[in-house]
Amino acid sequence: MTDAKLPLTVDQQIDLLIRRGMAVSDRIQASHWLRHINYYRLRAYWLPFEQPAVGQAQPQEHGFRAGVSFEQVLSIYEFDRALRLLLLDAIDWLETSLRTQWAHQMALRHGAQAHEQIALHQDRARHERRLHLLREEYLRSDETFALHHRLRYPELATPPIWVSSELLTLGQLSRWIADLRHAADRQAIARAYDLDEVLLISFLYRLSLVRNLCAHHGRVWNREFSTTRMKLPRHKPRQVVEAINLQRPDRLYNALVLLAHVLHRIVPCHDWPRRLRDLMAQATPVMADSMGFPRDWSNLQFWSDLWSDVGA
């Protein structure tokens, strides 16, 4: 093992940060947090402040821009943690609603076992794989509703769609909806959120990525979602179109706009937009910009209307 890979004590970690130019005003506090938050987990939050060290030839030998402090990095970490929890709150509402809409619309249109009908789906191989995963989840689930249906209806490979929906993750559910053969079925689901079905499916894919980051304690602040481009509304809903930032499509902000819009359709007068505003008040302009927030976002009519609905 090379010297570069040798483990460092917490004190050595702090010495390294100071040597590279980070200000540490309270060494005891820094030591406490580095004992509970992995050094390389925090590194994701100070990475934007790094720069090549003067006089250092090796690319791994980097320093920090003047004025960067450990306390500053820790505050960004705490902000990101609060943002993840806020996102999970809104996504929980949407996931529950989406399960309901998929099950309700498909059952009324095509019957209790609509999810098993290959003719309603675009790709046979993908449908068979999803159905196989659903059957496996159904058989191993110890949820009361699953136990009841296995006992009461042993002849069913999968339970009715309104039961099956409760066994799916947001990512799985978004793929079930995306693979529906008929646009009318997809649009019936999207209509509940005042969105076009193409826009809803694209948004759900982006939100699944965000949800997985939040659930697994991943960083969402300063995250670039560049693997796929989320479709953005061009004409309606008008208030959403006006709030979208077309210049930063790969950042979190546009997903927050759509999430706030959808949440308002599910839970009118919910205080989530106000809590987002209050959290963003803790962010510096640079922090907000790194997430794609327009400079004047808090003055946009879209957000003002949501805040006024809860008297904020």
Torsion, Cα 14 20 26 32, to 10 degrees, reads: -30
Q: What is the pLDDT of residue 119?
A: 97
Q: What is the pLDDT of residue 301?
A: 94
Place of tokens 């694209």: 202
Burial of 48 from C-beta contacts in 10 A (0-12 / 13-18 / 19+): middle
What is the number of other CB atoms lying within 10 angstroms of the CB of residue 161?
Answer: 22
pTM: 0.90
Tokens describing residue 170: 């947001």
Residue pair 209/250 in contact (Cβ under 8 Å)? The answer is: no
Tokens describing residue 287: 């922090």
User: b or e along 254-288 (b: 16 or more beta carbons within 10 Å of the residue's beta carbon)?
Assistant: bbbbbbbbbbbebeeebbbbbbbbeebeebeeebb
Residue pair 84/214 in contact (Cβ under 8 Å)? The answer is: yes
Q: What is the pLDDT of residue 312?
A: 56
How far from 89 is each of 202, 214, 215, 220, 259, CA to CA, in Å? Answer: 20, 10, 11, 15, 11
Q: CA-based angle 62:65:71, to the nearest 5?
A: 100
Closest CA to 208 of 87, 46, 49, 33: 87
Closest CA to 242 of 234, 230, 250, 252: 234
pLDDT tens string, the chain, 312 residues long: the values are 455 578 899 999 999 999 999 999 999 999 999 999 999 999 999 999 998 766 554 555 678 999 999 999 999 999 999 999 999 999 999 999 999 999 999 999 999 999 999 999 999 999 999 999 999 999 999 999 999 999 999 999 999 999 999 999 999 999 999 999 999 999 999 999 999 999 999 999 999 999 999 999 999 999 999 777 888 888 888 889 999 999 999 999 999 999 999 999 999 989 999 999 999 999 999 999 999 999 999 999 999 999 887 665
What is the number of other CB atoms lying within 10 angstroms of the CB of residue 144?
Answer: 8
pLDDT tens readout for residues 200-258: 999 999 999 999 999 999 999 999 997 778 888 888 888 899 999 999 999 999 999 99
Q: What is the pLDDT of residue 1?
A: 46
